[in-house]
A and B are shown apart, each in its own frame.
Chain A
């Protein structure tokens, strides 16, 4: 009696707290994260409703002579839910979390739908235009048939893959007297795709070399041993996070002011982003090594360098290699788009074809990219698997040193030749790094002293919100579409009949092809279909989301424990019941967690799709850069860094709590 009356007075107090400050009741009831989340959500929703009404007249209604938004009604319901939630929690009754989430979702999706100027009718009215692109996509300009009926590689094929043509003989051939002074010799002129591959390879190599030492400065367990090391650690980590938050393509914009257009600029932009990403992964790996061997080696009287050499290196080399391979995959993908701004590589080529309206050439480039990326993806995954599982060769003889194995020597020579060739193809010229264009210093100064005039901030914030909503809609759309297909692409659920095996391979293949092309490259298709703008960008993002998330979902389904399925089936349940009780509880958490992760990734992607006409903050950024207003560009980049870092943090926190 006594406890129940104190319980209900506690419940009323908690509800009252939540009435005053949303989330305060939950906080008081020791659900700290719930409280903070509700508080943050309330403020954000209120701001967004107001912002939507001001900027886009979203949900505008006139009630009793007052112009307002009907979304405020939903907002009031959300606030009421929050009070009710605190009340129920205090009484120990289960709370209806779903209701609160639904209220917030109504507000967010209404806003998202309006600001990304979704025009579903255009999808239909302009279908003929889309059909034209589609026809080009299946008939890429790669080969042509001459009058005799024989097939030849087209001009465009040469542009992409390279061609053999007569060029002035290189100097060493004449010096050795092999050819005459001005004689021409046939030589292979690399195509744009080859250039792109070289860019990705070089950037991976350079960034691995640079990230290695950096990662030690960003590893807490190493730095804590040095005087003042902890400060260096925090500074390093912050720098890495900021650099990582800015997309490679945006780095490209900065780099071209420094060293001019070209594939060299692309390599540098790729390397900058890659160093930061690898540095972070490497340093986390260093932090997670087993302290046992370090203790043992230290106990034997070794100094810090010996400890690193004998206790740290052997532990970190396999995971480092695995991360480098993963990064190689990512760098290859980024290399296909960095040319959009930096010039060079297939990205630049795609940009040119779009400008000229050459959709057959554009289609050929997409197919070529898909082939390369699928191969890279496969090799990288295979090697990573081999490294992490580790080959255990049983051998009694001591291993031969590296320089005595003919195979190793052959690989080394091939590697060096490849490296030199890449260096040559991408026209690396390290001297230009130290002779920046005269405008570069001004750019840096303007860029760092960002423009904080309210007008500019308002414009930038507006585009940023649109960008975030684009990512939200694209994630939702892509994930919903991917859901049914992911079941078809899961080995353990598709049956063993011939038809279902075919469906399995077909679905996986579609995922792989769509996944291999960056959203930025898809924008052109949708811009042609529904017109340039945020809608086109959202659709392009949705396509990549569909493929990326579809694969993640399917892998999650393949990883579930089939034991419960067996147990439920053994009770006499139907297949449908068994799926609901044994499979769904296992896949919902990873699905939600992947979707949130994908939203996080999509926000990054959405910051650049504007470069290809996909709207959002990217368009603003390229405009400011184009008009040499580095001041304002700095504002945009600063906001991107903040938003991406926040999203990163929030998504990691939420996913952590999901498991």
Chain B
């Protein structure tokens, strides 16, 4: 179980991105994080694995206090939490295989990995994960020769290398067209249902939330303004989250 308690974040330039945010996620949930651009979704997800240091509050995961973990332990925690990014964040000039293998870095000795050495076991695992996302024949091409949807699937395969128990996905489909968006989210759904991996995913479109999420939370200007089932987001809730002028739109 993931417990976020009174989490706040103020950036060095004074922007307060999160105000006292508290919520819980049970194991096996698919939690959607919604909110307008700038509402603090990315900040929230990054505070969970401490890519960004929160200013106040706690993140407790299975009785471990992530926010208090020393650097050495942080490595152990991070390797159990996969992360997927809007801009994919692949090393574009490196082959797909190296990108996927880099998901394993948290497990192996830093010195071995300096020379691009990975055990045959890890290489097999990488190929299996590429197979899982349907890209096994692209293993040795450069990452930048793939399309956006394929790059995001490489991103998923990289996260799978960590054998994660939790996946943080920061707008994983915002750079993709609607058809690809569904295909990527279906992979996440499959991982969530079949392997029981907990998923925290920020999303822009409400119909995607309805279709994939088991529960949703909403942020507005850094404050938590809603938590509950996706179907509970009625017109009034919608206006509270997105503002009075907002109109519902949907994608295919």
Q: Of A496, A564, A569, which contacts B51 at CB under 8 A? A: A569
Q: How far is the CB of A17 from chain B (nearest CB, A)?
A: 27
**A154 contacts across to B, CB distance below 8 A:** none
Set A496, A564, A573: member contacting B105, Cβ < 8 A = A573
B91–A564 contact, CB under 8 A?
yes
Q: Does B113 have its Cβ within 8 Å of any Cβ on chain A? A: yes
- Contact status A570-B91, CB under 8 Å: no
Q: Is the CB of A585 within 8 A of B93?
A: yes
What per-residue 1/0 map shows which CB atoms of B141-172 lie under 8 Å from chain A? 00000000000000100110110000010000
Contact between chains at B93 and A589 (CB < 8 Å): yes
CB distance from A586 to the nearest CB of B (A): 7
Say yes or no: A568 contacts B49, CB within 8 Å: no
CA–CA, A573 to B106, complex, Å? 4
Q: Which of A496, A564, A569, A577 contacts B90 (CB 8 A)?
A: A564
Residues of B within 8 A of A574 (CB): 75, 105, 110
**Residues on the A chain within 8 Å of B79, using CB:** 571-572
B37 CB contacts on chain A under 8 angstroms: none
B105 near A570 with CB under 8 A, answer no
Does A581 belong to the interface (CB within 8 Å)? Answer: yes
Q: Digitize A572-583: 1 where CB-to-B-CB distance is under 8 Å, 0 elsewhere.
A: 111011101110
Whether, in the assembled complex, B61 has its beta carbon less than 8 Å from a beta carbon of chain A, the answer is no
Whether A571 touches B114, Cβ cut-off 8 Å, given contacts A566-B89, A582-B91, A586-B93, is no
Question: Interface with A: B80-88, B119-127, B199-207, which one?
Answer: B80-88
B46: min CB distance to chain A, Å: 8
Q: Is A228 engaged at the interface, CB distance under 8 Å to the other chain?
A: no
Q: Which residues of B contact A564 (CB under 8 A)?
A: 89-91
Given contacts A571-B162, A572-B78, A573-B105, are A580 and B90 in contact (CB under 8 A)?
no
A563 and B87: CB pair below 8 A? yes
Contact present for B105 and A567 (CB under 8 Å): no
Given the known inter-chain contacts A577-B110, A581-B105, please indicate yes or no for A572 contacting B75, CB distance below 8 A.
yes
Bound-complex Cα distance A563 to B114 (A): 20
Contact B76 A572 (CB under 8 A): yes
Name the distance in Å between B171's Cβ and chain A's nearest Cβ.
Answer: 13
Query: Smallest CB–CB gap between A573 and chain B, Å?
Result: 4
B77 within 8 A of A: yes
With A580-B113, A589-B93 as given contacts, are A571 and B85 in contact (CB-CB < 8 Å)?
no
Q: Find the A residue at minimum CB distance from B81.
A: A570
Instruction: Determine the chain B residues whose CB is within 8 A of the CB of A569 once the complex forms.
Output: 51, 78
Residues of B within 8 A of A571 (CB): 78-79, 82-83, 102-106, 158-159, 161-162
Q: Which residues of B contact A586 (CB under 8 A)?
A: 91-93
The CA of A395 and the CA of B91, in the complex, are separated in Å by 44
Contact A576/B51 with A570-B78, A570-B81, A571-B162 known, Cβ cut-off 8 Å: no
A561 and B92 alpha carbons, distance in the complex (Å): 10
Question: Is B94 part of the binding interface, using a Cβ–Cβ cutoff of 8 Å?
Answer: yes
Chain A hits for B77, CB < 8 A: 572
By beta carbon, the residue of chain A nearest B104 is A571
Shortest Cβ distance from residue B11 to the other chain A in the assembled complex, whole angstroms: 12
Q: When each residue 91-117 of chain B gets 1 if its CB lies under 8 Å from chain A and 0 otherwise, what string results? A: 111100010001111110010011000
Query: Contact at A567–B93, with CB atoms within 8 Å?
Result: no
B84 nearest CB across to chain A (Å)? 9
Shortest A561–chain B CB gap in Å is 8
Asked if residues A566 and B85 are in contact (CB atoms below 8 Å), the reply is: yes
Total contacts A to B, CB within 8 angstroms?
86
Among A570, A576, A589, the most chain B Cβ lie within 10 Å of the Cβ of A570
Residues of B within 8 A of A578 (CB): 105
A581 in contact with B49 (CB, 8 Å): no
Bound CA span A566–B102, Å:
12
Most buried by A among B81, B85, B106: B106
- Inside 8 A of A568's CB, which chain B residues have their CB? 102, 105
Q: Which residue of the partner chain, among B12, B87, B98, B155, contacts A581 with CB atoms under 8 Å?
A: B98
Q: Residues of A contacting B93 with CB < 8 Å? A: 585-586, 589
Closest to B140 in A: A94
How many Å lie between the Cα of A571 and that of B155 in the bound state?
Answer: 11
Grouping DSSP codes into helix (H, G, I), strand (E, B) and loop, the A interface class, with mixed when no group exceeds half, is helix
Task: Kindly state the separation between the CA atoms of A574 and B76 in the bound complex, as whole angstroms.
Answer: 11
Across the interface, which residues of A come within 8 angstroms of B75, CB to CB?
572-574
Report A486-525 CB contacts with B as 1/0, cut-off 8 Å. 0000000000100000000000000000000000000000
Q: How far is the CA of A571 from the CA of B76 in the complex (A)?
A: 9
Tell me if A570 and B90 are in contact (CB < 8 A). no
Task: State in angstroms the CA–CA spacing of A574 and B102 once bound together.
Answer: 11
B172 shortest CB reach to chain A, Å: 12
The CA-CA distance from A580 to B113 in the complex, in Å, is 9
Closest CB in chain B relative to A567 CB, distance in Å? 4
The chain B residue sitting closest to A587, CB to CB, is B93
CB pair B114–A570 under 8 Å, yes or no, is no
Q: Check if A563 sits within 8 Å of B89, measured CB to CB.
A: yes
Considering only residues 354-376 of chain A, those with a C-beta below 8 Å from chain B are: none
Chain A residues numbered 536-592 whose CB sits less than 8 Å from any CB in chain B: 561, 563-564, 566-574, 576-578, 580-582, 585-586, 589
> How far does the Cβ of A494 sit from chain B's closest Cβ, in whole Å?
16
Q: Which of A567, A576, A580, A585 contacts B83 (CB 8 A)?
A: A567
On whether the beta carbons of A570 and B51 are closer than 8 Å, the reply is yes
| Complex interface: chain A residues within 8 A of B87 (CB) | 563
Contact call B85/A581, Cβ cutoff below 8 A? no
Expressed in whole angstroms, the minimum distance between the Cβ of A585 and any Cβ of chain B is 5
Residues of chain B with a CB closer than 8 A to A582's CB: 91, 102
Residue of B nearest to A94 (CB): B140
Write the chain B residue with the least CB distance to A563: B89
Chain A residues with CB under 8 Å of B110's CB are 574, 576-577
Instruction: Point out the residues of chain A lying under 8 angstroms from B51, CB to CB.
Output: 566, 569-570
> With A and B bound together, what is the CA distance between A561 and B107 in angstroms?
25
**In the bound complex, how far is the Cα of B77 from the Cα of A586, in angstroms?**
27
List, in ascending order, chain B residues with CB within 8 A of A577's CB: 105, 110, 113-114
Closest CB-CB distance, B141 to chain A, in whole Å?
A: 14
Shortest CB-to-CB span from B54 to chain A, Å, is: 16
B189: min CB distance to chain A, Å:
21
Structural contact, A567 and B106, CB atoms closer than 8 A: no
- Nearest residue (CB) in A for B49 is A570
Docked Cα-Cα span, A574 to B75, in Å, equals 7
For residue B94, which residue of chain A has the nearest CB?
A: A585
Known: A573-B102, A581-B98. A567 touches B113 (CB 8 A): no
Q: How far is the CA of A589 from the CA of B82 in the complex (A)?
A: 29
Shortest distance from the beta carbon of A229 to any chain B beta carbon, whole Å: 40
Chain B residues whose C-beta falls within 8 Å of the C-beta of A566 in the assembled complex: 51, 85, 89
Which of B75, B87, B102, B113 counts the most chain A CB atoms within 10 A? B102
CB contact under 8 A between A567 and B85, given known A574-B110, A581-B91, A586-B93: yes
CB distance A570 to B98 under 8 Å? no
A638 to chain B, nearest CB (A): 41
A574 to B71, CA, bound (A): 10
The residue of chain A having its C-beta at the shortest distance from the C-beta of B76 within the complex is: A572
**Please, how many angstroms separate the alpha-carbon atoms of A566 and B162 in the complex?**
15
CB-CB contacts of B1-45 with A at 8 A, as 1s and 0s? Answer: 000000000001000000000000000000000000000000000
Complex Cα–Cα for A622 and B204 (A): 71
CA distance A635 to B51 in the complex (A): 63
In the bound complex, residues from chain A placing their C-beta under 8 Å from that of B94 are 581, 585
Residues of B within 8 A of A572 (CB): 74-80, 105-107, 162
Rounded to whole Å, the gap between the CB of A616 and the closest CB of chain B is 37
- Which B-chain residue is minimally distant from A568 (CB atoms)? B102
> Which of A561, A568, A577 has the most B CB atoms < 10 Å from its CB?
A577
Q: Name the 3 nearest CB pairs between A and B, nearest first.
A: A572-B106, A572-B79, A563-B89
Given A566-B51, A572-B76, A585-B94, 4 further pairs, Cβ under 8 A: A564-B90, A573-B106, A577-B113, A589-B93
- What are 30 A-B contacts defined by CB distance under 8 Å? A496-B12, A561-B92, A563-B89, A564-B91, A566-B89, A567-B89, A567-B90, A567-B102, A569-B51, A571-B79, A571-B83, A571-B102, A571-B158, A571-B159, A572-B74, A572-B76, A572-B77, A572-B78, A572-B79, A572-B105, A573-B102, A573-B105, A574-B110, A576-B114, A577-B105, A577-B113, A577-B114, A581-B113, A585-B94, A586-B91
